[in-house]
Structure 1
């Protein structure tokens, strides 16, 4: 194949950008040399300048490609389907860890570059503003910047603490932020959110609730004390179960579940063997750590002395 033919190879520029990103993931920006990228892409070093005049230009273009792909992923995740947008954001945080750890690595590299190079800082600002706008389209009236910042933080924390930052915690946190920013917005003179005598009325997005009024929380607590299960409450009020538990804890409602059922004990053991902490298991199941420890002791997974010996 002649040099001219190789230079005109369809899609070569796009392939170089993708290969550059993969090399950055494996070696970091410092290790992503022009020569190494050329070898990984099976492109003659001399013909690299046909598409990029320098390594610096190639790396910047690669991160611009990454930013566009990352935004497209967020835009698709927030706009796809129906129902609670907070739930869709939750699934995105979880899936980014499970399916796309490469994004965490590339984003970390881009952050470092942005601290030292205004070109990358400008790229980061554009990417953040587009992400914020995508979230605000699905949660109108709420603070997209706050939700986007919390989403980013949760995704990063989940990368290092997957057992602690589980789907329940992610959803409860995003719901709390959505509720808080909506409450702040409702106090503004410009807000058109309806109110009752105890606070802002539940805001709706399509058919999904993002938070409850004080009166609705009163009703939820009453239903719980009347014997309704947390699962049934979550379905009735359109909430995640972790959010139901959060409302009950804030109202200091005593748990009527001193321990776990047979099936729940088996699930607690399964989660513990998967590396999930007792605190996270208890939060997921709506019981304290002592109840989780008791189930693990009963299953022989931990020693009985741990109950009193370790907090």
Structure 2
């Protein structure tokens, strides 16, 4: 068991109840870039698979080499763990014919759950020819894929308002998506308002909260500035003075993630999606303490 889990479980247990048989979780990984990173990935996958997750997802890179890695690791993770493993699939810089071929290969390999995304680019002048909605429609024409899509409680950086955000999400659900996984967030009310708006607009599928445990606050601040995620002032205060102590940051980050899960569980949320960054210690410890063993 990880040192982090071994030495700090007692501290975290002071805040916890047992949520076994109440919550279920899924976990996101990304394709490793080298052998050292691959070893870390497999260590994380093996540890987290013991939690009996709903599914794993594997992100999709912006170039063909990374995309091929996604296919490779999705197949291998599924074969080794037996856990449903869903590749992310984006439609940036890819033709419809290419997407059909990729999707058919997944289906033929027994991979029948896909996370369908438009994808992002650093090129501000890029003209998108396809969107996530188009990808959902394309996938459903090929086979009866189980499709997850993205949702943004605090709005996608390109969204104009909550009405447009709900409109685009509803279109994806109506086209055949089975669930939505949210961008990570730290303000519970943002998620609850978004979920309520989805229900009011006839969106009946599960809106799964994306949980990103904070292991490095400087890193999270960078992520948040890119993704339009608001970090409340109270979180800044909690991490004040911890800049040179990553273990302290992990303890604080775990406490915050646990509180988010607990509070959302009390609001009726049962499924959670953890962004692991290919590191299992925090996600495993949080879920283990919450009763997923």
Larger Rg, first or second structure (1 or 2): 1
Hey, which of these two has a bigger chunk of strand by percent? 2
Q: TM-score, structure 1 length as denominator?
A: 0.24
Greater relative CO, 1 or 2 (CA 8 Å, sep 6+): 2
